[in-house]
């Protein structure tokens, strides 16, 4: 699905890729929607694992930065993760659980970002009085924008450096209290 998109993915194609019969796939999954839900759930678990590992032992702005970088497409595995998300975003797939899974994953990530931003306020890294939900959404928009705009052509030192600079500039603006949403 990360290569062909949701619409082009069929039970037969999944079976062929896995080197098994279509019957083997349908034994475990009722239909394509069931497979798609499993793929999205796996993708979300992978992203959560990346976020958890990246931010372990960190707090405040260091944790915010680590959580954002964990989802930015700076390596091949993360690009595959983004391709799956994009396939769901663009497919208009009729199963509403897909949209719920996407939103639920984002809301969970945003809540974690808000908690780390609150730590940054308590630690004096950023000024009090900022709208932390707004700032978390702005960081989410930056991460999503990078995920949407940059592709495999940017999986190099220059692309990674540029991505890192954009994030660091944004976080510096928050620390200076420039953005008051």
Distances (CA, A) of 103 to 61, 116, 132: 24, 20, 19
> ∠ CA(89), CA(95), CA(101), 5° rounding?
60
> ∠ CA(71), CA(72), CA(75), 5° rounding?
100
Taking the C-alpha atoms of residue 69 and residue 175, their distance in angstroms, rounded to an integer, is 18
22 burial via Cβ count (<10 Å: 0-12, 13-18, 19+): middle
In the chain, beta strands by DSSP E: none
Query: Domain coordinates of the chain in residue numbers?
Result: 11-175
CATH number of 11-175: 1.10.357.10
Per-residue pLDDT tens listing for the chain (181 residues): 666 766 777 888 878 887 888 888 888 888 877 888 888 888 888 999 999 999 999 999 999 999 999 998 877 788 888 888 887 776 655 555 555 556 667 888 899 999 999 999 999 999 999 999 999 999 999 998 888 777 655 656 666 777 788 888 989 989 987 655 5
pTM of the model: 0.79
Taking the C-alpha atoms of residue 36 and residue 57, their distance in angstroms, rounded to an integer, is 34
């Amino acid at each position: 699905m990360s290569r062909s998109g949701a619409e082009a993915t069929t039970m037969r194609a999944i079976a062929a890729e896995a080197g098994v019969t279509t019957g083997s796939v349908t034994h475990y999954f009722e239909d394509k929607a069931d497979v798609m839900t499993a793929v999205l759930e796996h993708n979300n678990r992978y992203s959560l694992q990346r976020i958890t590992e990246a931010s372990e032992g960190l707090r405040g702005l260091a944790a915010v930065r680590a959580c954002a970088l964990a989802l930015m497409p700076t390596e091949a595995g993360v690009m595959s993760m983004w391709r799956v998300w994009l396939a769901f975003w663009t497919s208009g797939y009729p199963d509403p659980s897909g949209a719920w899974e996407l939103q639920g994953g984002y809301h969970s990530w945003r809540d974690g970002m808000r908690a780390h931003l609150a730590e940054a306020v308590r630690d004096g890294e950023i000024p009090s009085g900022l709208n932390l939900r707004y700032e978390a959404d702005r960081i989410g928009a930056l991460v999503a924008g990078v995920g949407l705009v940059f592709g495999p052509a940017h999986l190099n030192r220059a692309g990674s450096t540029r991505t890192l600079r954009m994030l660091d500039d944004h976080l510096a603006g928050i620390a200076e209290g420039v953005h008051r949403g």
